[in-house]
Chains A and B, each alone.
Chain A
Amino acid sequence: MKGNEAIAEAAIQAGCRYFFGYPITPQNEIPAYMAKRLPQVGGTFIQAESEISAINMVYGAAGAGARVMTSSSSPGISLKQEGISYIAGAELPCLIVNIVRGGPGLGGIQPAQSDYFQAVKGGGHGDYRLVVLAPSTIQEVVDLVQEGFDIADRYRNPVMILGDGMLGQMMEPVEFGKRKPAELPPKEWATAGWKGDRPRAVINSLFIDPQALEDHVKKIYKKYKAIRINETRAECFNCEDAEIIVAAYGTTARIVRSVIEIASKEGIKVGLIRPITLWPFPAETIRSWAEKDHVKAVLTVEMSMGQMAEDVTLAVGGRKPSLFYGRTGGMVPAPLEILAEIKKIREGALK
């Protein structure tokens, strides 16, 4: 199944019945699939007049208690940032898919990872966090869509799936329903008409009294602490006796796996740390490997000018050299390019 279609079908399987979107390449298969499938299962698809309207429809539907999603690509996600900030402020659950393309500006339509800052550091205004999930296979896309909705509902916070054009367009066999849905409490806070049997539901992010706003934000940050503890995820591959550890996520992590194979044939021991959650970031995992004596250096590889690299360097904390290699603008690094970089570092480190 194609990555974008797998996202859409996984959302339907996860009980999502509302989709609001706006056309933009390279994610167009998601809304097209939803437009066809949602009416078959009693759901609603709307092609909104803009990304801004789409995300605000998501706000309304999420506030009304529905499992709801939107998808877009980089410039469209920039437009959604206003709504994402309001959704986080009003503590509403939803899933936002970003099939990243090269930027800045109109950029290009080829795969990129240059929206890491926007996704992880909060592209909208104010003190808030998005949970950011970064799948690297189509099967993982399917699993993380189910999990993303569940995390969103459990913590009442928006969750983003950060993919790229490569992941969206490639095809792989998938199995649905592998990840079991979580048991979640009913949404008694939602606006569904008020009979007086519960407090009046008000979906809101306005707190005009600064003390009330500080209290509200602190309450949200307690939630973020719990998310850090419970939801941080990373995959470590071949790290046990690695001289060089590569940190990479999504499509780039797939390429690094090929690099590891080629390198091992040449007797070079390379490991991979692949963050699955970009926020919360698996800093502890990276730090603990960077401490090992056999690790000489950590190399971050990204399809950007080095965005996750900043978080990796923070995690490494000066214990070992933290280096970066990347291609950007829609250019995808080839395994041999990365291997050449590893060799250079190795020669330097072993000198």
Chain B
Amino acid sequence: MKKVFKRPESLTDKPMHYCPGCTHGIVHRLVAEALDELNIRQDTIGVAPVGCAVFAYDYFNCDMQEAAHGRAPAVATGIKRVHPDKVVFTYQGDGDLASIGAAEIVHAANRGEKITAIFINNAIYGMTGGQMAPTTLLDQVTATSPYGRKAETEGYPIRISEMLSTLEGAAYIERVSVHDIKHINHAKKAIRKAFEYQLQGRGFTMVEVLSTCPTNWGLTPLESLKWLKDNMIPYYPLGVKREVE
């Protein structure tokens, strides 16, 4: 019988620990498929974050480093400067990248580090149990914004892609979503393009992926996909934010 669907070479066979309905698994697969299609798995070094994807080093089937919370872009900088001929990517959540690691991502982008950041924005801290993230929407209820996020006291959700797109060192930044098949297919194209830009040595690249967290949003997987579409996309508009020809 002909095999029509299989695990990408760039993923290990280790069972993932993610909650049911979480979109991390989808994004892992998209990254892995992109590495396979570009035939760069053996030349890729990944950097795992602190957060739900902390075990990413067990799932991506390439050399990996585990970074401290938020520091993945600095770790990736060190790796890339030692191995400029390799592909280096970070995989980071919104607490990791947009809060504690805000300085690291801004300056890696500004230096034009030839790395790719895969940025998972699900508007909440997952691993620690659903606390408010810098990307948490206004009025969204979390463990640490139990009355809903208020602009007056907690500030506004940060649009990281738009912010980084003002930096000259960034070569390609796009925000995508994985709430339906059409958007998943497009997300894959964006991730692949980011790696291609890195291979061409154009500069810093990032793909922000709007994602779900059914467990901490308190919704079913299906409701979560709808919540993302109805609430996140209006505030976090999809599309290319920066592209240097």
Contact = CB atoms under 8 A, between A and B. Distances in A.
A51 to B, nearest CB: 11
Contacts of A90: 66
Interface stretch (B72-80, B156-164, B204-212, B221-229): B72-80
B28 interface: no
A201 B63 contact: yes
Greatest chain B CB density within 10 A among A44, A48, A56, A66 is at A56
Interface in A234-252: none
Interface residues on B, range: 20 to 34
In terms of DSSP, what is the predominant structure of the interface of chain B?
A: helix
A20 interface: yes
Nearest to A49: B107
B16 interface: no
Interface string A320-336: 00000000000000000
A105 interface: no
A122 interface: no
A187 B77 CA distance: 20
A303 B234 CA distance: 61
B154 to A, nearest CB: 24
Contacts of B114: none
Contacts of A68: 78
A285 to B, nearest CB: 37
A83 B71 contact: yes
A60 B68 contact: no
Interface stretch (A131-139, A192-200, A276-284, A292-300): A192-200
A49 B103 contact: yes
A209 B42 CA distance: 29
A204 B67 CA distance: 8
A260 interface: no
B86 A61 contact: no
A49 B43 contact: no
B77 A60 contact: yes
A21 interface: no
B62 A48 contact: no
Interface in B53-95: 54-55, 57, 61-68, 71, 74-83, 86
Contacts of B103: 49-50, 52-53
Interface residues on A, range: 35 or more
Contacts of A18: 78, 81-82
Interface string A55-87: 011111111111010000000000000110010
Nearest to A62: B78
A56 B83 contact: no
B67 A59 contact: yes
Given A56-B71, A59-B67, A200 B78 contact: no
Contacts of A66: 78, 82
A265 to B, nearest CB: 54
A57 B66 contact: no
Given A18-B81, A44-B81, A61-B78, A191 B65 contact: yes
A202 B106 CA distance: 26
7 contacts: A18-B82, A56-B78, A82-B68, A191-B64, A192-B83, A193-B83, A204-B57
